[in-house]
Structure 1
Amino acid sequence: MNAAPALAGVKQAGGSTLPRHVAIIMDGNGRWAKKRFLPRAAGHRKGIEAVRAVTRASRDLGLEVLSLYAFSSENWRRPAEEVSDLMGLLKHFIRSDLDELAEANVRLRVIGDHGAFSPDVVEMIDGAIARTAGNTGQTLCVALNYGAQNEMVRAAKKAAAQGEVDEASVAANLDTAGLPMVDLLIRTSGEQRLSNFMLWQAAYAELLFTETLWPDFGADGLRDAIQAYAMRERRFGGL
């Protein structure tokens, strides 16, 4: 059942609207597989199904921006076989879902240094970005080879080269420049840390940690998280 009508018009306790920007740390693929005595690769494949379900649900709910932490700069420390499998899944997702994203008027945006990937992966990512660049609907922001501390250092250096360094100049040079700040940041699998993800953008985000492993999160998990968000009162440092 589509839950969008049930959420339409829901206001937070403080009177603000539903989140414009939801960011998700997708965690728990490996544990999902381990619980089922399956290889980690099976968990990652199931995780892609969850990505597909959540991105579709986010469009149904009318989210302006959905950001997904897909591959961190620290993930290179994983076994080479696992990294290769993740790259293969990324290519598969682009091949299988790009048409749907383009037809749904979704604009793909990638943050981080995806240029560090192999040339064939870079070519596919750049092609997907170019194909959806003119779309005016939802922005799907995917973090690839991303680390927030590195992003802030790069932004500060660019700001310094341009002149004065202040909050506005740093923000204008972040990978997410032009996007709204994160309203709701979700992490699955029970872990309660940000893991170097959108540290600047999530400065006043509502944080939601769920025990649900990412492959089991899906559309219902997203709707439940947004319902929980709508019950909160955001203060932004005020009383």
Structure 2
Amino acid sequence: MNPLNHVAIIMDGNGRWGLRYKKNRNDGHKEGLNTVEKIIKETLKNKIKYLTLYAFSTENWKRPKNEINFLFNLLENFLAEKIDELNKKNIKLKIIGIKNFSEKLNNLINKAEKKTSKNKKLQLNLALNYGSKFEILNSFKELKKNKKKITEKNFISYLQTKNIPDPDLLIRTGNTKRLSNFLLWQIAYSEIYFEKKLWPSFNRKDYIEIINNYKMIKRKFGNI
């Protein structure tokens, strides 16, 4: 049975869910936050040490301004209301991506990261304003700037995930089969599951089924 240390999720389908059931994309984002809380709870139950959620990509800035504002208001409220709860559950919060947000959101992020920095039960990584191509290019720029030899070890040391093990399992909801510039280096040997359900409809039973399927796969890593 395969050990499972790190799950990464592309939470796709919020907007489509909102249009389908509420006639409003923002309602889908709001409902998607409830799914986040359910999945965090189930991740803790399964004693998985790392959970990485793709919350906002560098490409998502192309979306309508009112939708972007709604997303960041949701995040601000989540951090303000839930950080004490995360801390009590021994969850460490880590942001990967470029922290180029409002002063209020940056302060909330920094406060949340600092407050939870010593927690060890689960590390919750939120990919915000994250793009893997930028991350990879930046790592090479840092190698050159610091006159380091180009090796895999040195390259990884400049990634935003430098102290985070690579995902064992990547899940993408929303019935879309692409990686969308997410952890392209890190998922080289991850098992990938494409889930038809939209993120707000994804539930604990779906998550457990994928986890159980993953545990039974023979992982070869290039071997036979």
Taking structure 2 as the reference length, the TM-score comes to: 0.97
CA RMSD of aligned residues (A): 1.0
In the alignment, is the contact (CA less than 8 A) between 1:47 and 1:214 conserved in 2? Answer: yes
CA distance in structure 1 between the partners assigned to 2:203 and 2:132 by the alignment: 26
CA distance in structure 2 between the partners assigned to 1:196 and 1:48 by the alignment: 22
CA distance in structure 2 between the partners assigned to 1:180 and 1:144 by the alignment: 19
Answering whether residue 115 of structure 2 is matched by residue 131 of structure 1, we say yes
Answering whether residue 128 of structure 2 is matched by residue 118 of structure 1, we say no
Please state how far the C-alpha of 1:231 moved relative to its aligned partner: 2.1
Answering whether residue 149 of structure 2 is matched by residue 142 of structure 1, we say no
SS at the partner of 1:230? helix
Please state how far the C-alpha of 1:34 moved relative to its aligned partner: 1.6
Answering whether residue 209 of structure 2 is matched by residue 216 of structure 1, we say no
In the alignment, is the contact (CA less than 8 A) between 1:69 and 1:143 conserved in 2? Answer: yes
1:28 paired residue number: 13
2:175 paired residue number: 190
1:84 paired residue number: 69
CA distance in structure 2 between the partners assigned to 1:68 and 1:35 by the alignment: 23
User: What are the residue-to-residue correspondences of 1:24-173 with 2, within 5 Å?
Assistant: 24-114=9-99, 116-162=100-146, 163-173=148-158
SS at the partner of 1:23? strand
CA distance in structure 1 between the partners assigned to 2:144 and 2:88 by the alignment: 40
2:216 paired residue number: 231
Please state how far the C-alpha of 1:216 moved relative to its aligned partner: 1.1
| Ranges of 4+ aligned residues in structure 1 off by more than 4 Å | none
**Number of paired residues?**
223
Paired letter, 1:131: K
CA 1:168–1:120 in 2, change beyond 3 Å: closer, same or farther?
same
In the alignment, is the contact (CA less than 8 A) between 1:51 and 1:218 conserved in 2? Answer: no
CA distance in structure 1 between the partners assigned to 2:81 and 2:203 by the alignment: 18
SS at the partner of 1:74? helix
2:190 paired residue number: 205
CA distance in structure 2 between the partners assigned to 1:221 and 1:88 by the alignment: 28
Please state how far the C-alpha of 1:161 moved relative to its aligned partner: 2.6
Structure 2: gaps of 5 or more residues: none
CA distance in structure 2 between the partners assigned to 1:48 and 1:134 by the alignment: 25
Paired letter, 2:122: Q
CA distance in structure 2 between the partners assigned to 1:47 and 1:231 by the alignment: 29
Identity of aligned residues (%): 39
Paired letter, 2:140: A
Paired letter, 1:128: A
SS at the partner of 2:129? strand
Q: Which region of structure 1 is more displaced relative to structure 2, 26-35 or 216-225?
A: 216-225
Taking structure 1 as the reference length, the TM-score comes to: 0.91
SS at the partner of 2:55? strand
